[in-house]
Structure 1
Amino acid sequence: MSTLVVVRHGQSSGNERNEFTGWRDEPLTRLGLEESRLAGMMLGDRGLRFDKAFSSNLSRAVETCRIILSETNDTPVTPMRSDALNERDYGELTGLNKDDAREKWGPDLVRLWRRSYLVPPPGGESIRDTSARVLPFIICEVLPALLRGKSVLLVSHGNTMRTICHVIEKLSIEQMLALEIPTAMPTIYRLTHDLSVIEKAILSREER
């Protein structure tokens, strides 16, 4: 049996300002640091230790990953970072307050850009585009570790995590698009030798 823990980064300054952050490299807020530490403590309380760790190259995910590992692992693990796990590129929406974007383009169009699988925002990526760069990384780097029975931590972003959950849980496109993924609340998957999910648990900060 192997274990995969997927975590969206803690609150970033872009989240705090209610902006489309995308590839912009925003740091964690004080709350985001606290969320990340609590996520690590909750995982540590359950006896989880990680053999391998992965994160995007954006500092909010890198720092969340570092904090979690500091709470779970006695033996240092150097995370593998990759642009392939970076958040979706929001193009012209990047850095805009979400309410301001709705006023500029209308709520229906902004909703389409955010939740359509195929339609990208101007100059940005659709969710299908994002999945196209995430999937090869998952197949080449993450799944082999799981097939070897390793315990794996993966810290990334809302849209990239939708793709990861889509693969692991064998979700439909519609189910994937409907996922709401809070900051720094770990999802734990226990997997069989063929990577079928035998147990899924979403940790809640209220539990601790």
Structure 2
Amino acid sequence: MPRLVLLRHGQSQWNLENRFTGWVNVDLTDQGEAEARKGGTLIAEAGFTPAVMFTSVLKRALRTGDLALSAAGLKDVPIVRDWHLNERHYGGLTGLNKAETAERHGEDQVRIWRRSYDVPPPPMQDDHPHSFAGDPLYEGQTIPDTESLKTTLDRVLPYWDAEIAPRLKAGEDVLIVAHGNSLRAIVKHLFAVPDDRIVGVEIPTGNPLEIDLDGDLVPTDARYLDTGRAADLPPLPEKQA
């Protein structure tokens, strides 16, 4: 049966600065690089050899994947990059410090923007300092100007169905290196997590989440490889008769 490993990128510079990052192409911190290498070491120790690595087009995910594969001795694994695995788009909040934003708009409002399932932040305007209009990474694509977790899932899931699931159903092991919210969307789908509970699912940076799947891609077991930094996992879904 296929195995899937989900790896959130290591700590980024804007994680450290407590800023809404979204699609901004920030790099890893030294700690983030160390997390990525340790993730790769743990992947090797688990005997996990992916047939392919899927990742977003953002630097922090790409570098995490490269560092992890190198540490695991898996430099020849094919890499597929796609913006549909990007982090959630934080719209007009992009680049703002989270604490300062709470002072300006109120903690309750910011909590709704960050933690509700289907309420997006204000949209990003074309004159925003981090506008992605004209970014060559998205040339010819229709991209959002803000996203909730729900709309993040709405873009991730079709990509999962079209590109990732067929590889798993063919019996291949797959590594996905992406972001807190794009991986949360995949976890919601696989574990059938209710809308009101998925926002409470945390995915630690740089800690590989290994998931055993059956032939229908229903999880049969799951574990974080770094047990000292593990987060709580949703319960395994019940197999439908």
TM-score, normalised via structure 2 length: 0.83
Residues 195 and 150 (structure 1 numbering): CA distance in 2 closer, same or farther, change over 3 Å?
Answer: same
Q: Identify unmatched segments of 5+ residues in structure 1.
A: none
Counterpart Cα distance in 2 of 1:128 and 1:75: 34
Residues 1:96 and 2:96 aligned together: yes
**Which of 99, 102, 126 is residue 148 of structure 2 equivalent to?**
126
Counterpart Cα distance in 1 of 2:73 and 2:213: 21
Residues 1:145 and 2:167 aligned together: yes
Aligned letter for 1:88? R
Aligned letter for 1:36? A
Match of 1:84 in 2: 84
Aligned letter for 1:161? L
Residues 1:188 and 2:210 aligned together: yes
Counterpart Cα distance in 1 of 2:66 and 2:50: 12
**Aligned-pair CA distance for 1:86:** 0.5
Q: Is the contact between residue 57 and residue 81 of structure 1 (CA under 8 Å) also seen in structure 2?
A: yes
**Aligned-pair CA distance for 1:197:** 1.2
Match of 1:136 in 2: 158
Counterpart Cα distance in 1 of 2:30 and 2:149: 29
Match of 2:42 in 1: 42
TM-score, normalised via structure 1 length: 0.96
Q: Is the contact between residue 36 and residue 68 of structure 2 (CA under 8 Å) also seen in structure 1?
A: yes
Specify the SS of the correspondent of 2:155. helix
Match of 2:184 in 1: 162
**Aligned-pair CA distance for 1:205:** 6.2
Computing the radius of gyration from Cα coordinates, the structure with the larger value is 2
**Aligned-pair CA distance for 1:72:** 2.5
- For residues 32-82 of structure 1, the C-alpha deviation after alignment (integer angstroms, 9 at most, x for no partner) is 000000000011111111101100000000011111111224460121000
Residues 1:61 and 2:61 aligned together: yes
4+ residue runs over 6 A deviation: none
Specify the SS of the correspondent of 1:80. strand
Counterpart Cα distance in 2 of 1:74 and 1:11: 22
Specify the SS of the correspondent of 1:61. helix
Moved more, 169-178 or 110-119: 169-178
Residues 22 and 197 (structure 1 numbering): CA distance in 2 closer, same or farther, change over 3 Å?
Answer: same
